[in-house]
Amino acid sequence: MSDDQDNGQDTGRALPERGLPAERVLGDIGALRAGDRPTHGGRLFAYVYDPAVPGLDELAAAAHASSAHVNGLDPTAFPSLLAMENALVGAASRLLGGGAGTGAPDVVGSVTSGGTESLILAVKAARDARPDVAAPRIAVPVTAHAAFAKAAHYLRVVLDPVPVDPVTLRPSAAAVAAAIGPDTVLVACSAPSYAHGVVDPVAEIAAVAAEAGVRCHVDACFGGWTLPWLRRLGEPVPPFDFTVAGVTSISVDLHKYAYAPKGVSVLLHRTPALRAPQFFAYADWPGYTMVNPVIASTRSGGPIAAAYATLRHLGEDGYLRLAAATRDAVAGLADAVRGTDGLRLLAEPESTVVCFTSTDPTLDLFVLVDELTARGWHTQPQLSYADLPASVHLTVTAAVAPRVAEFGPDLADAAAAARAAGPVKLPAELTALAATLTPDALTPELVAGLAAALGLGGPGAGLDGTAADGAGGFAPDATVNALLDAAPPALRERLLVEFVGLLQRPTY
Ligand SMILES: Cc1ncc(COP(=O)(O)O)c(C=O)c1O
């Protein structure tokens, strides 16, 4: 950023001595944004959800601005927000087997800031519904989202991991049953899992949970807004919603496949009684009595209004069209993988994910990811875990559809280049270090040294190791992934915590 206003010293500081004109401020943000991965254009397969609908961004931004200063703290002060929240919850409920129809469950819900908050609240509600259990536990498939582990950690609940079949990548109902004990307050499953896009056997798992008298949460954060449309399009989507008797709560993120801007998820409960322990109220202080359905107290109306506008603008017909485009894109990308020597789909696509692995030791997936990045395709590497190999994840959205024909040739080209470059060769002492170092022995200095040696630590570095092209220019990212891959999970966690600690430093 150039400076013409702040004594020649402004490098983008948030609080300059003298305020800057609006155009200058926006120009500076634009300059910062130029170093980001592309949020639009159908070439980024994680983090963003792009329907490529002309005018939608502008509509959502206008709606966001209209309610940005409205506060969700008190639903009686801002009835506009309450009305929009109730409408969003109603839409999600109707899509997922609730609703006003005869026989449908009396589903209620809350709008949260995202999938993680929805899952934390599902766990809190389950925990607080069982004050008789001194040391509550939750049974969660290992393929379920890491936010369950975060919820368990925050809420001091023990997480019992349920193994999955290494081929189907699904937990069996028997494995879930085996994980349920007298202190289990919640069973979880995914529809679908983020990593592989696989839908768990929800009906069987919910039956096992119901039999044990335990709540069953379906994490449909990722797929709850696509599976119903895919089913309407004739795809074989198994039952996963409130039409399944034992399902007690469902989460669905509107900032994913409902294509709303970030900051909106819906947590649904089958009945008001199931939701009640989710709420927090406090009157034992001299200020206003606080009643919070969700974690945040003050909440901006912006994301809620933006989501409301997005849903109303796209409508059922729009989502059906977008789901059809996404389904076709998934099929095309999966074909490209099938047609590339040395690659194999880790799971047959059944939702909106394409996930593949390497079957050829000379074709290093992490090198392939870098080669794809160099060709403008931003994929997400996934490290090996237990008996599951490392893989490459593609979250596919409607914007990808027009790009699919370009992907196959680039994938083949990238694979050839990755083979020619050969697998990452970590220095032997580094591999040994990764395998033997204990997380406690990892000092900030050691991580700083490692980061420096690997060329990491500035803007644009990807947490997953992938470089942001443009301003960042971080290299060599396959090396970082190879190093992380060689380390056990506890060490990966510590390394990345220290690394993010290095990144998150104030600028003056
Ligand atoms: C299945 C699933 N659950 C939960 C989450 C967490 O959502 P968020 O990142 O909005 O907190 C994700 C995010 O990808 C997800 O895919």
Q: Ligand 1, residue 256: give the atom nearest the CA.
A: 10
Ligand 1 in reach of 318 Cβ (< 6 A): no
**Residue located via tokens 């389904």:** 327
Ligand 1 in reach of 190 Cβ (< 6 A): yes
CA atoms within 13 A on the CB side of 240: 31
What spacing in Å lies between the alpha carbon of 356 and ligand 1's midpoint?
A: 20
Cα torsion angle, 38, 39, 41, 47, sign: positive
CA geometry: angle 402, 404, 410, nearest 5 deg: 130
Q: Ligand 1, residue 194: give the atom nearest the CA.
A: 16
Ligand 1 in reach of 200 Cβ (< 6 A): no
Q: How many CB atoms lie within 10 A of CB 431?
A: 15
What is the pLDDT at residue 452? 73
DSSP for residue 44 = B
Ligand 1 in reach of 222 Cβ (< 6 A): yes
What is the pLDDT at residue 313? 98
Let me know how many helices (H) and strands (E) the chain has, helices first: 16, 13
What spacing in Å lies between the alpha carbon of 145 and ligand 1's midpoint?
A: 6
Task: Please report, in tens digits, the pLDDT of each residue of the chain (508 residues total).
Answer: 444 444 555 668 999 999 999 999 999 999 999 999 999 999 999 999 999 999 999 999 999 999 999 999 999 999 999 999 999 999 999 999 998 777 889 999 999 999 999 999 999 999 999 999 999 999 999 999 999 999 999 999 999 999 999 999 999 999 999 999 999 999 999 999 999 999 999 999 999 999 999 999 999 999 999 999 999 999 999 999 999 999 999 999 999 999 999 999 999 999 999 999 999 999 999 999 999 999 999 999 999 999 999 999 999 999 999 999 999 999 999 999 999 999 999 999 999 999 999 999 999 999 999 999 999 999 999 999 999 999 999 999 999 999 999 999 999 999 999 999 999 998 888 888 888 888 888 887 887 777 776 666 554 445 454 444 433 434 448 998 999 999 999 999 998 888 888 889 999 9
Cis amide leading into 476 (omega within 30): yes
Ligand 1 in reach of 305 Cβ (< 6 A): no
Q: b/e per residue, 85-119, with b = 16+ CB within 10 A? A: beebbbbbbebbbbbeeeeebebbbbbbbbbbbbb
Q: Which amino acid is at 494?
A: R
| φ, ψ of residue 435 in degrees (nearest 5) | -80, -25
Distance CA 39, CA 30 (A): 13
What spacing in Å lies between the alpha carbon of 395 and ligand 1's midpoint?
A: 12
Q: Ligand 1, residue 262: give the atom nearest the CA.
A: 10
Q: Is 156 left (phi over 0), alpha (psi -120 to 50) or beta?
A: left
Q: Which fold has domain 36-56+108-287+312-423?
A: Aspartate Aminotransferase; domain 2 (3.40.640)
- Counting ligand 1 atoms within 8 A of each CB, the residue from 112, 116, 123 with the most, and so the one to mutate, is 116
What is the pLDDT at residue 367? 97
| Domain residue ranges of the chain, discontinuous segments joined by + | 36-56+108-287+312-423, 428-503
Q: What is the 3-state secondary structure (H, E, C) of 188-244?
A: EEECCCCCCCCCCCHHHHHHHHHHHCCEEEEECCCCCCCHHHHHHCCCCCCCCCCCC
How do 353-358 and 343-345 pair as beta strands?
antiparallel
- Residue whose CA lies nearest to ligand 1 atom number 8: 115
Name the maximum alpha-carbon separation found in the chain.
Answer: 70
What spacing in Å lies between the alpha carbon of 146 and ligand 1's midpoint?
A: 8
Give the residues across from 57 on adjacent strands.
Answer: none
Predicted TM-score of the model (pTM): 0.94
DSSP for residue 286 = S
